[in-house]
């Protein structure tokens, strides 16, 4: 019998500090940076984002999201035998945020100590990170290498924003989302389609690095927004169609499109190209901004907990971002 993987529970966490566009614009004005709620809403659909307190790390946000996902799945940390964290804002250069998360989870109760020893690693594919991580976890579960995985997207993008650059600092936020993915006789994940084109490294990057005891180069996010926009609208449609073809399904089978939450215009354009009515599009970018690898699992969890997305629904998840990377995962919930 073929072995599949299936999402058993979802969870998410947003740091409590929420800034509306007007509040962010007022803070930026004090630096002489001019923006407005009107511009941000019109160009992106974003109305608010959450920023973590200075001492809060990606693993802190991931820990909260995982606790919620474990509770929703009705399993304990000790039942997990694989941890994959998608992040571009890791706690440290190394070890991985996944290892730090494993330690935090193990400390949460005596019973949770059973999570120690399982493989734990990070996936770095920027805003496509969650679809990459889900695909890796699915492959490991299908092969029998794992039985039940925590797959997480967690980011503190506020740490790498240049608050003097209005073209980027109004777009991003912090947060985390997680799923418990487990082996199943029935799908589950139906198909994945992943891509990267390294020619476009420069259009979305944090070019700095750590060397010789110093940060070398610029450790803040740079983006050519228009170049990213143009690439994103093209590849998202292609990747969704590729995933549908691999699964032998059609656009009409999609109950919900849950794309990376970066820009409402990109998301709506993808929905239109897939001939989906806009009410089949899950939108959280208005409340969360762009949380990079966290955006898809955050949107999924919000949609599940609101009762919008239900067990048995067919979901198209789609990521796109720095690398340039992109991909889609089609699944039955
Ligand atoms: O997460 C990875 C994926 N990332 C994305 O998908 C992002 C893709 N790109 C985008 O979402 C859009 O390109 C942006 C939202 C970043 C920008 O929207 P746009 O419609 O492409 O605007 P633009 O860059 O063409 O800028 C239009 C104008 C410019 O002024 P001029 O040159 O027309 O006078 C900008 O200087 O808007 C100005 N502008 C702003 N004005 C007020 C840029 N940022 C701001 C701002 N507030 N925050």
Hey, which bits of 28-158 come out as E strands? Answer: 48-50, 82-86, 120-123, 148-156
Work out which ligand 1 atom sits closest to the CA atom of 166: 48
The C-alpha atoms of residue 203 and residue 11 are separated, in whole angstroms, by: 32
d(CA 272, CA 39): 23
Query: What residue ranges define each of the domains in the chain, with the CATH number in brackets?
Result: 4-185 (3.40.47.10), 190-332 (3.40.47.10)
Judge if the beta carbon of residue 232 lies within 6 A of ligand 1: yes
283 C-alpha to ligand 1 centroid (Å): 20
- Does the Cβ of 24 fall within 6 Å of ligand 1? no
CA of 166 to the centre of ligand 1 (A): 9
Low-confidence stretches of the chain (pLDDT < 50) are none
The DSSP code for 16 is S
Indicate whether residue 59 lines ligand 1 (CB < 6 A): no
Q: Which residues pair with 17 in a beta bridge?
A: none
Q: pLDDT by residue (tens digit) across 286-303?
A: 999 999 999 999 999 999
225 lines ligand 1 (CB under 6 A): yes
Write the DSSP string, 261-282.
-S-HHHHHHHHHHTT--GGGB-
pTM equals 0.97
**Closest residue by Cα to residue 176 from 299, 47, 268:** 299
Q: Could you identify the atom of ligand 1 that is nearest to the CA of residue 44?
A: 15
Residue 310, pLDDT score: 97
pLDDT attached to residue 153: 98
Q: Are 117 and 99 in contact (CB under 8 A)?
A: no
Asked whether 209 lines ligand 1 (CB < 6 A), one says no
CB 262 less than 6 A from any atom of ligand 1: yes
Q: Which of 45, 225, 233, 319 to mutate to test the pocket of ligand 1 (most atoms within 8 A of CB)?
A: 225
pLDDT at 71: 98
Output the CA 215–ligand 1 centroid distance in Å: 28
Give me the phi and psi of 60, to 5 degrees please. -65, -45
Q: With a 6 A CB cut-off, is 263 part of the ligand 1 pocket? A: yes
The pLDDT assigned to 229 comes to 96
Tell me which residues are annotated as active site.
127, 260, 290
pLDDT tens across 104-128, in order? 999 999 999 999 999 999 999 999 9
CB 153 within 8 A of CB 294: yes
Residue 75 confidence (pLDDT): 98
Q: How far is the CA of 263 from the centre of ligand 1 (A)?
A: 10
- The pLDDT value recorded for residue 99 is 98
CA distances from 191 to 121, 270, 288, 313 (A): 23, 19, 28, 15
- Copy the structure tokens of residue 67: 């606790």
Nearest-atom index, ligand 1, CA of 170 = 48
Residue that is written with structure tokens 């990170």 in the block: 129
DSSP lists the bridge partners of residue 81 as: none
Residue 85, token pair as written in the block = 């964290």
- The verdict on whether omega for the bond into residue 188 sits within 30 degrees of 0, i.e. cis, is yes
Question: b/e map of 77-101 (b: 16 or more CB within 10 Å)?
Answer: bbbbbbbbbbbbbbbeeeebbbbbb
Nearest to 174 by CA among 160, 155, 161: 155
Q: How far is the C-alpha of 106 from the C-alpha of 114, rounded, in Å?
A: 7
Output the CA 230–ligand 1 centroid distance in Å: 12
68: CA distance to ligand 1 center in Å?
35
For ligand 1, whether the C-beta of 229 sits within 6 Å is yes
How far does CA 236 lie from the centroid of its chain?
A: 15
Distance CA 132, CA 24 (A): 32
Closest residue to atom 10 of ligand 1, CA basis = 225
pLDDT at 1: 82
CA distance 51 to 161: 11
Distance CA 272, CA 211 (A): 46
39 lines ligand 1 (CB under 6 A): yes
- Cα(50) to ligand 1 centroid in Å equals 20
Please give the pLDDT value at position 110: 97
Site to probe by mutation for ligand 1, drawn from 28, 87, 167, 230 as the one with most ligand atoms within 8 Å of Cβ, is 167
Pairing of strands 314-321, 325-332: antiparallel
Q: What is the pLDDT of residue 3?
A: 96
For the Cβ of 164 lying below 6 angstroms from any atom of ligand 1, the answer is no
């Amino acid at each position: 019998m073929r072995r599949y993987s299936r999402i058993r529970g979802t969870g998410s966490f947003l740091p409590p500090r929420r800034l509306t566009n007007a509040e962010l614009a007022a803070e930026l004005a004090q630096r002489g940076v001019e923006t407005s709620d009107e511009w941000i809403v019109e160009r992106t659909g974003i109305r608010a984002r959450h920023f973590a307190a200075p001492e809060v790390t990606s693993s802190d946000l991931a820990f909260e999201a995982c606790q919620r996902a474990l509770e929703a799945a009705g399993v304990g940390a000790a039942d997990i035998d694989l941890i994959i964290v998608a992040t571009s804002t890791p706690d440290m250069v190394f070890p991985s945020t996944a290892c730090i998360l494993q330690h935090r989870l193990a400390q949460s109760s005596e019973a949770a100590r059973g999570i120690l020893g399982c493989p734990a690693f990070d996936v770095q594919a920027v805003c496509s990170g969650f679809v990459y991580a889900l695909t890796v976890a699915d492959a490991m579960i299908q092969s029998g290498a794992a039985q039940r995985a925590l797959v997480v997207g967690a980011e503190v993008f506020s740490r790498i924003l240049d608050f003097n650059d209005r073209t980027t600092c109004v777009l991003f936020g912090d947060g985390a989302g997680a799923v418990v993915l487990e082996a199943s006789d029935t799908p589950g994940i139906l198909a994945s389609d992943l891509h990267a084109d390294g020619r476009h490294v420069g259009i979305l990057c944090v070019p700095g690095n750590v060397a010789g005891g110093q940060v070398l180069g610029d450790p803040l996010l740079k983006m050519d927004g228009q170049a990213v926009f143009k690439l994103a609208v093209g590849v998202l449609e292609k990747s969704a169609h590729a995933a549908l073809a691999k699964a032998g399904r059609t656009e009409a089978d999609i109950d919900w499109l849950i794309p990376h939450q970066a820009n409402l215009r990109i998301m709506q354009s993808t929905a239109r190209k897939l001939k989906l009515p806009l009410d089949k599009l899950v939108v959280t970018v208005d409340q969360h901004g762009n949380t990079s690898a966290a955006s898809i699992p955050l949107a999924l969890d919000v949609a599940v907990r609101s009762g919008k997305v239900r067990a048995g629904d067919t979901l198209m998840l789609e990521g796109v971002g720095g690398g340039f990377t992109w991909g889609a995962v089609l699944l039955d919930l």
